Structure 1
Amino acid sequence: MPHILILGAGITGMTTAYALLKRGYRVTVIDRNRYAAMETSFANGGQLSASNAEVWNSWSTVSKGMSWMLRRDAPLLLNPTPTWHKYSWLAEFLACIPNYEDSTVATTRLAIESRRHLFAMAQDEGIDFDLERRGILHVYYDREGFEGAAKVNELLKKGGLDRRSVSAEEIRSIEPALSTKFFGGFFTPSDSTGDIHKFTTGLAEACKRHGATFVFDADVLRIKAGDQVSVDWRPTNDSKSGSTILNGDAVVVCAGVGSRQFAAMLGDRVNVYPVKGYSITVNLEDEKSKNGAPWVSLLDDRAKIVTSRLGEDRFRVAGTAEFNGIDRDIRSDRIRPLTDWVRSLFPSVSTSRVVPWAGLRPMMPNMLPIVRQGKRPRVFYNTGHGHLGWTLSAATSELVSDLIDSSCLK
């Protein structure tokens, strides 16, 4: 059977590897880290959220971003220091605003399809990832926010999502831990949450059982594609070491924010930009904190914060979008709004033990993942999933596998 090389061992790389293995391909996964799921798939918000399928390409997003530019704690922060990549990406982002509605509907449909494949993977392979199928609740503090969300809801419903409006009283019945007064909200019972790191590492182990080979701690130096594909690599952070060449029949680039660099090696343009997000994992060490933290997943639209309950003793809170290039530094002024939000909405939850994290979302200007064949033969892409990597990955992995099937490799 053909041998497929996969660049990237995050959620997209692992779902792609699994889909190809199930179709009978030989698979080798290459990653610069020592283990799977060590970057953007490590500690995200934990939501499997078709209800968050609205793309960001809208004038309201631009307006909010401009108004937040001077706030260091703003939900969306743009470093104004000019770089060609950043401003060319932003120009393309603005050019995609006319496609906002169609892109949102398409993303919704893809998210709904993806959950079917993802749950099947977890069930077939016995992956325990703190899954909670309690739905996702979006909350709004005022009429203006609620009515804006109602317009978005029409697009989500057009994409096939069952999502209903709820009153302030219904919000409290859905999640009793919420005591804050809200104007109203929207509830999506079919959405769910879990630990993406547990899922991805569990899927990596399943791929090993199905025969996949992993090459970790690998810094890719060159990629060539012709009659076959070759990946030239050496051990990460070891510039004195000699390189090793891996050969295969095709390559799939699933490398998150690294995909742009790999695409350039292959003569393609994949305009992924790294949009940093932050999260905190609150350790619930006493009964008061465990009882005071919500079980239903939340999205606070005003603060741009999402939450997930990861078992009895962990509470994940994530948010913010920072345009600052390849920068993985964890800034205290960006973590503080997350901690303050927990203290404000859930005062009985102790934040004495909080684990901060930052990761880089691989965003395309149109906010849609790129799933296509490259200019050169035997080159494929499954990347650029942005803030919905986990939500969309199981479906896009099937799509790229279909492309490989139809390329006459078998």
Structure 2
Amino acid sequence: MERYRCRLKFATTVPLGLCVMLSLTSSTSSACPTAVPKACRNATCHYSIATLERIVQEATYNPASEKIQLVFDQPAPNAVRSLVQVISVDSGGSASFSCPVHNVTFTTPLQLPYIGWTHQGRDLAVLGNGRLISDGPFDLEHSVRSRPVPGSPFADVNVTLALKSVAWQASGDLSCLQPCNTFLLPSVRLPIAVKPGDVPFCGSPYQLSRLLVFPSASELFAVPMSNVSVRRGSDAQFTCAANLRVAGSTPAFIWRFNGYVIAAPGDHPLQALVRVLDTHRGGSVSAERFPLRGISTAKAFTFSVTYLSTATTVNSTLSVSHVDLNTSARVECWVRPEADQEVWRRQIAYLHVLTTPAA
């Protein structure tokens, strides 16, 4: 379990600050950073505060959208990663994978070399004799396109396999493979009752692919995040529970309070917005930039974020201490299911404050 503790204060002569992330065993830091750190562990985190605010604003222009796409400048892909075909699709959609087969004699489907597909390391389907056979859980379709090679009896062929109505659990590696030499012979024909595992495939894959399915809200969130009503001066808690697609995976969380990012992963670019809300006045944070602008007269906003993992979920809890608001506040929890993508799903709830102070 990890914990953030932050206290935001302001006065006419005292600048604001945001405290550093603390573990459960560490003590509260007396020094709060007021500028974006020069050293960055993340390749995409060298951004000004204004740029980060613009990125968030553009990603959240539709206040009702549950899907958030943060657009950062991406580093140049390395040679290994560029060989992998990445297919991104929303849950319930169709995902198409292309499999290039070069320099083959192809005039009818029966002359196309046998092609096999694996998904998450298991046999998925085999194409041969013009027939696609699969005993897997997916509804599959295929198509074949051929382009003659000028001055040659060969053709370049592209076979497309489409997985229909994919769910979040379908995310994973997929490859199309070449059969062993025996099955390359035109005279070899697949029996009618063949299964994908019956065909021996060996050697390097024609194509390596990765399927990334963006989960629906019901797939990602164990329970919806609820509105919270409290009396002025008491504490409030919001829990954002994210399901795990694979045991041991680590989804990331971002918390926003009234439109301001107040908690983000330590190595994420938006962590800079947590550390400082405004760098345009010598690194100080002015009162008008405070997250509680217009809804509170409090001189301090104290909150913490904790995490609790189980075998199937990760729960992130935002705790606000001594709530002092004049009206409701909008609370957002963002969850990123894939670490190498900046696509987040958002839950929204509201903090309501009753006029009667807590006893």
Q: Which structure ranks higher in relative contact order (CA pairs < 8 Å, sequence separation ≥ 6)?
A: 1
Category of TM-score, reference length = shorter chain: under 0.3
Structure number with greater Rg is 2
* Structure with higher helix content: 1
Task: Give the TM-score taking structure 2 as reference length.
Answer: 0.22
Question: When you count strand as a share of all residues, which structure comes out higher?
Answer: 2
- Give the TM-score taking structure 1 as reference length: 0.20
